[in-house]
């Protein structure tokens, strides 16, 4: 229950004028409901147990009772969301609010009010390329004529034509969205490359390419351009991927509506292309533009901060990586993010901690994250199972945590596990850089991290690592959070006793 309460409380408290006053009216100023609302606003609890302890409204039974009341009232207040400063969000909210009211309005008893709502929704849908709204509005307007509001045949035929035309667009939109979701589901819990995705993408492109930029559907064209981008990006054609993104940005900038949140998706992917091309300065500039369009605490905001962290690490801006980590993890919406997002930032946190331990960087002394090897794996349960993706970064971090802690008696067990992982999961050609670095780390450990003993053995591996360019599309950036050559130098120069 607490996750829903966190989300609704955040939505209402930040987007409804005089939210607490309206809530008090709805719940008749019931103390337990109001106290629970204030407690969730102030603390953003992670679990029901934390909320029960922190809200002070009684034990679990009372929490469930008043929590259910609060959820019901907060859902009602969603209808009163204030107009957003973002035109895209404002239009979306207005449209779906009108659609909900239209569904609740009975033409037989409120025909004049219902007809005006339907007309507003129709115009909104036409202007903003929302087939769903046009279809529902046209259908309602046809019903209005049948129920006796107006029986002009010409008007009925106009709405019928709009219904049929936009029903076709809506069907295309929904089919494209289903394709898109089936492709993207591969990335929800796994960050690695999946060969089978390419076939799905080619099927999508073949079916829908002739309709791109022609169907008046915002969501259809959004899905098309994102999949077209994946088609090039996943095969390492970053120049072509950038061209698709430029085409998409031009298309959406030419529309009669403003779509900042849509454009943000394409800016984020431009950043990823710049990352693969190692054009970090251009990427950083695009990050700044993307953050201007982002709403703090949203999925897109966190995704942009992820790549910002990576760029800062690549450029050696270690103080900035700490600032980014703090901004992400201290945000009041962090505990409401999906589990994989929280784990990504846990992994980034341990690498920030390792940078401090390796470099003794004075700028990271204040409030830097602290991790212990004994607890780390328990903090990343999802990605610990991602055998072909980011799990390699987890295992490397775990070994290095034990290394900086001076636990040589335990490090051998983790080195053996890492070596087995390499043999089983990193030999398919999809992560050559990671495979090569694991070999280097294993060789260093077997030489008891004595430089004179391991340097001759790792020399050819280092040469190979330099030859393997980091822009391979088969290796997601989260695998190599600190550049492997830099990480090797840090481990080489570190003395646990220091």
The C-alpha atoms of residue 336 and residue 103 are separated, in whole angstroms, by: 31
**First CA to last CA across the chain, in angstroms?**
48
User: DSSP secondary structure string, 323-363?
Assistant: HHHHHHHTSTTGGGS-HHHHHHHHHHHHHHHHHHHHH--GG
- Are 44 and 6 spatial neighbours (Cβ–Cβ below 8 Å)? yes
Mean pLDDT of 26-39: 90
The C-alpha atoms of residue 61 and residue 57 are separated, in whole angstroms, by: 10
The C-alpha atoms of residue 368 and residue 290 are separated, in whole angstroms, by: 26
Q: Can you give the pLDDT at residue 151? A: 62
Within a 10 A sphere around the Cβ of 424, how many other Cβ atoms?
Answer: 10
User: HSE of 258 in the Cβ direction (CA atoms, 13 Å)?
Assistant: 10
> Among 44-53, 80-89, 448-457, 461-470, whose mean pLDDT is lowest?
80-89
User: Would you say residue 93 has pLDDT above 90?
Assistant: no
- Are 103 and 137 spatial neighbours (Cβ–Cβ below 8 Å)? no
The C-alpha atoms of residue 36 and residue 14 are separated, in whole angstroms, by: 17
Q: At what angle do helices 260-276 and 299-314 cross, to 10 degrees?
A: 20
Residue-range domain boundaries for the chain:
2-80, 83-187+196-258, 407-498
Q: pLDDT-derived band of residue 270, with 50, 70 and 90 as boundaries? A: very high
- Are 32 and 66 spatial neighbours (Cβ–Cβ below 8 Å)? yes
pLDDT, greater one: 425 or 334: 334
Q: Is the pTM of this model over 0.75?
A: no
Tens digit of each residue's pLDDT (9 = 90 or more) over 477-497: 567 899 999 999 999 998 765
Report residue 232 as tokens: 């090039």
> Among 109-123, 197-211, 292-306, 465-479, whose mean pLDDT is lowest?
465-479
Q: Quick check: helix, strand or coil at residue 283?
A: helix
Q: pLDDT-derived band of residue 430, with 50, 70 and 90 as boundaries? A: low
- Are 391 and 381 spatial neighbours (Cβ–Cβ below 8 Å)? no
């Amino acid at each position: 229950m607490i996750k829903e309460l966190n989300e609704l409380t955040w939505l209402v408290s930040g987007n409804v004028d005089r939210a607490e006053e309206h809530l008090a009216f709805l719940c008749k100023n019931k103390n337990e409901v109001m106290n629970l609302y204030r407690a969730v606003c102030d603390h953003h609890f992670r679990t029901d147990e934390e909320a029960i302890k922190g809200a002070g409204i009684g034990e679990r039974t009372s929490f469930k009772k008043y929590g259910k009341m609060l959820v019901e009232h907060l859902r009602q207040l969603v209808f009163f969301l204030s107009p957003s400063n973002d035109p895209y969000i404002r239009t979306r909210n207005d449209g779906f609010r009108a659609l909900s009211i239209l569904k609740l309005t009975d033409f037989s008893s409120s025909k004049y009010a219902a007809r005006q709502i339907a007309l507003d929704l129709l115009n909104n849908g036409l202007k903003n390329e929302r087939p769903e709204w046009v279809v529902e509005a046209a259908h309602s307007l046809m019903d209005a004529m049948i129920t006796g509001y107006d029986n002009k045949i010409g008007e009925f035929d106009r709405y019928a034509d709009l219904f049929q035309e936009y029903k076709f667009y809506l069907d295309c939109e929904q089919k494209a969205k289903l394709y898109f979701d089936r492709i993207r589901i591969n990335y929800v819990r796994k960050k690695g490359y999946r060969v089978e995705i390419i076939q799905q993408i080619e099927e999508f492109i073949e079916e829908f390419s002739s309709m791109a930029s022609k169907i008046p559907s915002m969501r259809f064209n959004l899905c098309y351009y994102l999949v077209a981008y994946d088609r090039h990006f996943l095969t390492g054609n970053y120049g072509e991927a950038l061209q698709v993104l430029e085409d998409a940005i031009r298309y959406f900038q030419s529309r009669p509506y403003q779509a900042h949140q849509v454009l943000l998706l394409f800016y984020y992917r431009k950043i990823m292309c710049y990352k693969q091309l190692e054009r970090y300065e251009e990427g950083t500039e695009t990050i700044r533009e993307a953050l201007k369009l982002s709403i703090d605490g949203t999925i897109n905001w966190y995704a942009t901060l992820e790549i910002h962290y990576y760029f800062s690490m690549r450029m050696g801006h270690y103080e900035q990586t700490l600032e980014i980590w703090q901004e992400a993890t201290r945000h009041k919406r962090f505990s409401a993010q999906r589990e994989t997002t929280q784990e990504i930032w846990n992994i980034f946190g341990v690498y920030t901690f390792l940078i401090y331990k390796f470099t003794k960087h004075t700028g990271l002394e204040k409030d830097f994250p602290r991790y212990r090897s004994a607890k780390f794996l328990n903090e990343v349960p999802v990605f610990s199972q991602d055998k072909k993706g980011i799990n390699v970064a987890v295992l490397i971090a775990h070994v290095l945590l034990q290394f900086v802690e001076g636990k040589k008696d335990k490090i051998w067990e983790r080195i053996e596990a890492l070596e087995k992982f390499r043999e089983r999961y990193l030999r398919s050609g999809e992560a050559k850089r990671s495979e090569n670095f694991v070999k280097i780390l294993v060789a260093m450990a077997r030489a008891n991290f004595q430089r004179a003993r391991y340097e001759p053995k790792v020399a050819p591996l280092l040469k190979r690592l330099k030859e393997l360019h980091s822009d391979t599309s088969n290796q997601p950036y989260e695998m190599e959070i600190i550049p492997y050559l830099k990480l090797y130098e840090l481990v080489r120069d570190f003395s646990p006793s220091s």
